[in-house]
A and B are shown apart, each in its own frame.
Chain A
Amino acid sequence: MSQITDLTLAQLKQALGDGDLSSVEITTAFLDRIDSLNPELNAFITISHEDACKAAADADAARAKGKAPAFAGLPMAHKDLFCTDGTRTTCGSKMLADFVAPYDAHVVSRCQQAGLISLGKLNMDEFAMGSSNENSFFGAVKNPWDLSRVPGGSSGGSAAAVAARMTPLATATDTGGSIRQPAALTGTSGLKPTYGRVSRFGMIAFASSLDQGGLIAHTAEDIALGLGLIAGHDPRDSTSADQAVPDYTATLNDSLKGKIIGLPAQFFDERLDPAMRRSMDDVLDVFRSLGATTVDVSLDHIAEAIPAYYVIAPAEASSNLSRFDGVRFGYRADNPKDLTDLYERSRGEGFGSEVKRRILIGTYALSEGYYDAYYKKAQQIRRLIKQDFEQALSQCDLLFGPTTPSTAFVIGEKTADPVAMYLEDIYTVATNMAGLPGGSFQAPLIDGLPSGYQLTGPAFGEGAILNAAHQIQTATDWHTLRPEGL
């Protein structure tokens, strides 16, 4: 039998249910692996040994009495921007290095109610701003496939922890690609649900109209299991959609025969790296072999998605991050001489440079005289992008393309050039602008490094995405490849 930590969430659930494994065994196995790997990978900011072990013992006891909820005793971990009552929530920032939220995020309570055990809190780019996880106050996260490379970001900790088998399931968030891009760079499966599918309550905001919580795991099946728990309407989030949550596992095995896969021309133009193109072609061959057909579509305004995104996201962020002022929580500068000094030094010292850059860009874009040229213009482009997707999705069931332009880059390679870093998200940001669900799943390795393909569906089409990915995962073994040497 393979190691406990190699099992997927579905396999662990089965083993627990069959009595082959106990929650204590499972939890201990993952904690041990975290302890041995985290010093190198830095995927976890906080490891909850005691709480997790206690919860595991409780889960086993409850299971023995036949009173355990469905996921009782199964381990997972949360990106460190989901507030957890009693465990610190840092958001990867000095600003919140010691912040213990007095409440649980909606996603956290849902997981808890289902019986899942949190192993700890996962590293991330500060305030979810970044595509490499180098912008963390707690240090960069290493890619388990090559420790000299980035795991992607901002959910780099989530992706690295799953890839390194430190947890079978991790929560993550995606504002412009922060679930899909790290999933692609670490050989994991990641899903950003439709905007409004998962409550943002308790998720520390980066850009409110783009942020969406989701999951990273080994398989589409595990994501289907997890999404069923965290999706659904929450009256505490006005933007949460009042839509019934289907059983995502029920449609995983649907046939792909007759399904139409749309290939946006802009994803496959001459700029696409040849190796990445070959990888995508391999995936498409499998789709076709499963009975799906392809159709060429166009997303005319995709090129403007990045510029518009870098107005909207920083604008919203500049306002969302105003609450970090050193008064009610978080970092406060020593001996402020007056109120302005308190604000300027607490924020100047508490935020890292990428966060400050985005606050400045956002503040500038909203400032008097520039609103129309920047913010309003970006919102108009946003509508054009949404219309593009509607048009494209009217011709097919799902859109397909690479998740990232290339495989994981070397740590430090892009830190000096923010624009180069921003272009990492070139294939992912448009999905957030349109609020659509998008998943990234394992494609063939390129020179020993993972690559990922992306599926984008219509609003609330998570089921179709997971179905397609599951069918590919049933027909291939790309998702079972694991980094060597760990």
Chain B
Amino acid sequence: MYEAVIGLEVHVQLSTASKIFSGSSTAFGAEPNTQASLVDLGMPGVLPVPNARAFEMAVKFGLAIDAEIGKESVFDRKNYFYPDLPKGYQISQFEKPIVGPGRVTITLDDGTTKTINVTRAHLEEDAGKSVHDAFDGMTGVDLNRAGTPLLEIVSEPELRSAKEAVAYLKVIHSIIRYLDISDGNMAQGSMRCDCNVSIRPKGSEVLGTRTEIKNVNSFRFVEKAINTEIHRQTEILEDGGRVIQETRLYDPDKDETRSMRSKEEANDYRYFPDPDLLPVMIDDSFIEACRNTLPELPEARQARYIKDYGITDYDAGVLVADRDVADYFSEVADTSGEGKLAANWVMGSVLAELNQTGSVIADFPVSARQLADLISRIKDNTLNSKTAKTVFEALLVGEGEVNAIIEAKGLVQMTDTGAIEAIVDEVIQENPDQVANYRSAPSDKQGKMLGFFVGQVMKKSQGKANPQAVNQILNSKLGS
């Protein structure tokens, strides 16, 4: 039996307004090379000047994972040639990163937790983008992205399965979203993941030869890529072969990893301290200032939700995983004053809808206030669970505000006892046999038999009758 040993290198684009070493905008989606300044282009004679905000963000991340902050951090040059790397070197941090050893806690499927050590996190500049298909026999280079600040977060090889890797990645994602230091959008490349994977016989302390799967861009692909790679390596070892240390690329269409020949040439990055930059000294006051702006982090928020809203540990965990979802939930809960009901609706209906459509809460058509309105109308007995669903579906397709929908669809719950009594009387008259049976049955059986009459009344009221009132009236009328 083999055991997988996995470490992740997560690249997070920091959401600064300007680039890490120049005053160019980092905005996504501009025309090619319109956000590439002299510095980003690596023009002869230009020099980098680091962005303070990138350091603030990195330090906040460090504090959030309980890491040592590099009081003196140094930029190094990583030298290699590639068209999307204008200077022929990437400015990164090698020996003295801004964030030293730290740790995060992941929750496994069985509910147990595991601490994963983070080796380091360092600042570096992103490369540009290559455009392959627009020109005959040529590749186009767009340097708008070149110089976007990246925080590269390196984990210890302590992950033992693809599921653990994804759980770790989700925690990192959750933290950067809470800190609001990145939009964390994997599809757009704001968060990218390199997976280092090796396997070894269970119980062995020796590490096997690892491969690096580059640039995996979704949680799902991370899981699939790692599983595929574990499978591939297992087959190699079982056939008596040897795993080659190399860089591989995951192809989601074929669900396989393949060797990246272009990166195979012996890499010798010739790291050395960038002589254009001086050591960055981070003093205690800088760190304290960062600490003071730290938001409540997922773990703390989970504890607070359990206490404030009276919801379960599990529910709170699900709700806080995504900061935007958590904010949405707390707005619904606070506005409606119904924590449990809010949790049920957000988890049961909102998250289900998001999962199904693959969208995010920021784009969700039902606002927190609308959902709170809906819950308030359940609470005041205007809606029951069935009609509430109908209103929610109407909200999803944008049919207007809660009260207007209730009005338009005539969904106001029938709470008028006179009207309900009339329906109950009708039902009793139309079903003499069932009435007789009910009345002759022993009282412990009657509860179950009452369901039939409730159903009939609800049907006649087109679902609008207040179920509690129906029960009460039926009980008194059938009892006589």
Contact = CB atoms under 8 A, between A and B. Distances in A.
Find out whether A and B make contact in their complex, taking CB atoms under 8 A apart as touching: yes
Interface of A: 81-83, 89, 91, 96, 99, 101-103, 105, 200-205, 207-209, 235-239, 315-316, 318-319, 321-325, 327-330, 339, 343, 363, 366-368, 371, 375
B253 interface: no
B42 interface: yes
Contacts of B337: none
B43 A238 contact: no
Contacts of A325: 81, 88
Contacts of A238: 47-50, 276-278
B100 interface: no
Given A238-B278, A339-B83, A343-B81, A375 B49 contact: no
Interface string B18-49: 00000000000000000000100111111111
Interface residues of B, number: 29
Contacts of A316: 272, 275
A201 B77 CA distance: 19
B45 A367 contact: no
Interface of B: 38, 41-50, 77, 79, 81, 83, 86-89, 141, 268, 270-272, 274-278
Contact of A366 (B42, B79, B278): B79
Contacts of B141: 327
Given A238-B278, A316-B275, A363-B270, A329 B79 contact: no
A102 B48 CA distance: 17
Given A201-B47, A202-B46, A322 B89 contact: yes
Contact of B268 (A83, A89, A368): A368
22 contacts: A81-B45, A101-B44, A102-B43, A103-B43, A200-B45, A201-B46, A202-B46, A204-B44, A205-B276, A236-B49, A237-B49, A238-B50, A238-B277, A318-B270, A319-B272, A323-B44, A325-B88, A330-B44, A363-B270, A366-B271, A368-B270, A371-B271
Given A322-B81, A343-B81, A375 B45 contact: no
B167 to A, nearest CB: 35
A375 B46 CA distance: 24
A328 B278 contact: no
B271 to A, nearest CB: 8
Which of B49, B88, B270, B274 has the most A CB atoms < 10 Å from its CB?
A: B270
A202 to B, nearest CB: 4
A325 B277 CA distance: 23
B81 to A, nearest CB: 6
B270 A329 contact: no
B45 A83 contact: yes
A83 B38 CA distance: 12
Contacts of A103: 38, 43
Contacts of B50: 238
A327 B83 contact: yes
A124 to B, nearest CB: 14
Contacts of B42: 323, 328
Nearest to B81: A343
Contacts of B79: 318-319, 322, 366
A323 B83 contact: no
Contact of A323 (B88, B274, B276, B278): B88
Nearest to B77: A319
Given A208-B274, A319-B77, A323-B86, 17 more contacts: A96-B44, A101-B44, A103-B43, A209-B275, A235-B49, A238-B49, A238-B276, A239-B276, A239-B277, A318-B270, A322-B79, A323-B43, A323-B87, A327-B86, A329-B43, A343-B81, A371-B272
A105 B45 CA distance: 8
B267 to A, nearest CB: 9
A339 B261 CA distance: 14
A339 B47 CA distance: 26
B258 to A, nearest CB: 20
A368 B46 CA distance: 28
A211 to B, nearest CB: 9
A319 B45 contact: no
Nearest to A339: B83
Given A238-B50, A366-B79, A99 B270 contact: no
Contacts of A99: 44
B87 A322 contact: yes
A375 B272 contact: yes
B173 to A, nearest CB: 33
A101 B278 contact: no
B376 to A, nearest CB: 56
A366 B276 contact: no
A319 B89 CA distance: 7
Contacts of A96: 44
Contact of B278 (A89, A239, A329, A371): A239
A367 B268 CA distance: 6
B310 to A, nearest CB: 54
A329 B45 CA distance: 13
Contact of B275 (A208, A235, A321): A208
Contacts of B277: 238-239
B83 A101 contact: no
A82 to B, nearest CB: 8
A204 B45 contact: yes
B95 to A, nearest CB: 11
B276 A202 contact: no
Contacts of B268: 367-368
Top 6 closest A-B pairs, CB basis? A322-B88, A208-B275, A366-B270, A209-B275, A323-B42, A202-B45
Which of B43, B87, B141, B271 has the most A CB atoms < 10 Å from its CB?
A: B43
A367 B275 contact: no
A319 B44 contact: no
Nearest to A82: B45
Nearest to B42: A323
A260 to B, nearest CB: 32
B49 A89 contact: no
Contacts of A81: 45
Contacts of B47: 200-201, 236-239
